[in-house]
Chain A
């Protein structure tokens, strides 16, 4: 699947396109199919996101969204060395899938 991510313009926080807006939680990301470029252009122009881009991802057996590249997996939760600062998540598998 193809999902969209970027950083919030004001806060810089990592965000994920959920179909209607930008979420802090990677599990909210939706498959954008062939619409990536159109959504990216529209959202960046509207200043709802900074430097957005499309990435490959999969959905695991538990229904969780898993970015394909390690860099985006680290972005999804936060620094692996400061898990106390992680993005809150209901994902019970925690950090197992990041690295």
Chain B
């Protein structure tokens, strides 16, 4: 994985000291909250319901054992012994004191981490396929390009005050495991035939997003040569920065601009800007990409057994559910579930983080990935080591065999923590996962992606859920809208609302009802989403609301 050079480290260290001074001035009363707020947000420090919250960037979700151990130490030293992994492949701490914040950033800097650009109207942490560099179906490892974009977007002076926040995802497979088309810019690295054999480039999608106005990003360019990647991204950003609305924050995201201009007109303007930018010459030299790419060279895989002893049914189930096919046939990628039945999605204790770090060091070439599904991945595990990994995870409560099932729920922090939320998300996730686990229906239902947001901002990705739940405030009480048919994958679609909302008990019963409809109607091999797409909304509405 990438290692800081002296410039990276110097920038991050300088930022820590700058923030230390800003925090000191706030505590001494030399800055008002109005003056300080944009400064703390630029360093990932929010004020939430119960305390300050610090969001730490994990570029494209990749971290090593030393970094994970540092995150555990921070959880214990400065927080309350745990952290929360997010849908942006980051980690958040919920109980931070302002007087500790600079010290935390200093601790992070010692392991090449920071919280810069995890908030504010700038280019946020670049996300990527969590199986990058490991997946058997991968065409190109997207991480060098994600890292190049991280470096380009960090402290970019032109894009520090955009109309609104800006999120970029990069993938290198046909399969989309990063909700790529639900980002402001989605990039798929592709290979195409050429006179010289094959050439690698990037497809650009622009204007996607969730939030209050969900949109799927249209394709705006089918192939951008990789030696023009940054130039094209810069052109996309320049058009947005110039014409994106600043008068209304609810209409300020790029998706609104692309929608209002139309994809063709937005693309025309980008192409015009691109032609101009090519003449300016903003692309980093090829040597820089080559330097970065060296850090992502495949580890020294060794041959080994390709089969395993499946006599333990619990182990076999976990292997079937939580491992993913690797490009080397003696390895798999193993998902560490942060979704125990009845647990809080994405939360991990300091001890659990340390265990994950140890397993990464011992079994996965010292590498971990934070998944946008709020789980953690060991990307490269020898099949021969799989039982030992599973045993250790089981003992730590991290061995739930539930990847992509109804227990693998994405849930935002909701009204339990978040000052923007209208309703709680976590208790729903806890009750639903517990109910399906206890009834044994999880395996019967199979793949079903349930996503819960506590407000319209959609941090829980409810628009992209096979089943989505949105919490709303109905005259001072929590109410939940149910929606069906969303997908964040390559078959991307936006979920549709079923009808009137439900109270907490009602929405849990509603989830059971829609799974009943699915089980009664499904054809062989159909996922919930497939059945929904085949039979449509009506049978589900009938079950929920009557004829």
Binding site for B on A (CB under 8 A): 7, 9-14, 44, 47, 50-51, 68-71, 74-75, 78-82, 85, 99
A76 CB to closest chain B CB, in angstroms? Answer: 10
CB of B321 within 8 Å of the partner chain: no
User: What chain B residues lie within 8 Å of A81 (beta carbons)?
Assistant: 344, 416, 424, 426-427, 430
Highest count of chain A CB atoms <10 Å: which of B48, B95, B421: B95
**Beta-carbon contact of A79 and B478 below 8 Å:** no
User: What chain A residues lie within 8 Å of B415 (beta carbons)?
Assistant: 70-71, 74
Q: Pick the residue among A10, A13, A47 that contacts B50 (CB under 8 A).
A: A13
User: What chain A residues lie within 8 Å of B275 (beta carbons)?
Assistant: none
Comparing B57-65, B96-104, B248-256, the segment that makes contact with chain A is B96-104
Q: Pick the residue among B80, B97, B419 that contacts A85 (CB under 8 A).
A: B80
**Beta-carbon contact of B416 and A10 below 8 Å:** no
Highest count of chain B CB atoms <10 Å: which of A10, A51, A79: A79
Q: Pick the residue among A11, A44, A79, A82 that contacts B98 (CB under 8 A).
A: A11
CA distance A71 to B26 in the complex (A): 27
**5 A-B residue pairs with CB within 8 Å:** A10-B27, A12-B51, A50-B47, A51-B33, A68-B476
Interface residues of B in 275-291 (CB under 8 A from A): none
* Secondary structure of the B contact surface, majority rule: mixed
Which 6 residue pairs of A and B lie closest in terms of their CB atoms, listed nearest first? A12-B51, A79-B416, A12-B52, A81-B426, A11-B97, A47-B29
CA distance A69 to B52 in the complex (A): 21
B104 CB to closest chain A CB, in angstroms? Answer: 13
CB of B194 within 8 Å of the partner chain: no
CA distance A47 to B26 in the complex (A): 9
**Beta-carbon contact of A12 and B424 below 8 Å:** no
B477 CB to closest chain A CB, in angstroms? Answer: 7
Q: How many residues on chain B are close to A (CB under 8 Å)?
A: 31
CA distance A51 to B47 in the complex (A): 9
CA distance A70 to B415 in the complex (A): 9
Given A12-B97, A50-B33, A99-B478, A75 and B49 touching (CB < 8 A)?
yes
Q: B34-76, CB under 8 A of A: which get 1 and which 0?
A: 0000000000000111111000000000000000000000000
Q: B407-428, CB under 8 A of A: which get 1 and which 0?
A: 0000000011101010010110
Highest count of chain A CB atoms <10 Å: which of B33, B415, B419: B415
Other than the given A68-B476, A71-B421, 7 more pairs (CB < 8 A) read A9-B98, A10-B99, A11-B99, A50-B33, A50-B47, A80-B416, A81-B430
CA distance A82 to B80 in the complex (A): 11
**Beta-carbon contact of A13 and B417 below 8 Å:** no
User: What chain A residues lie within 8 Å of B98 (beta carbons)?
Assistant: 9-12
**Beta-carbon contact of B344 and A69 below 8 Å:** no
**Beta-carbon contact of B417 and A79 below 8 Å:** yes
Q: Pick the residue among B26, B47, B344, B430 that contacts A12 (CB under 8 A).
A: B47
User: What chain A residues lie within 8 Å of B52 (beta carbons)?
Assistant: 12
**Beta-carbon contact of B51 and A79 below 8 Å:** no
CA distance A33 to B51 in the complex (A): 27
CA distance A11 to B79 in the complex (A): 11
User: What chain A residues lie within 8 Å of B96 (beta carbons)?
Assistant: 12
User: What chain A residues lie within 8 Å of B424 (beta carbons)?
Assistant: 74, 80-81, 99
Given A9-B98, A81-B344, A14 and B478 touching (CB < 8 A)?
no
CA distance A47 to B98 in the complex (A): 13
CA distance A47 to B30 in the complex (A): 10
B99 CB to closest chain A CB, in angstroms? Answer: 5
**Beta-carbon contact of B50 and A70 below 8 Å:** no
Highest count of chain A CB atoms <10 Å: which of B49, B95, B417, B421: B49
B359 CB to closest chain A CB, in angstroms? Answer: 26
Chain A residue with minimal CB distance to B415?
A74
**Beta-carbon contact of A70 and B49 below 8 Å:** no
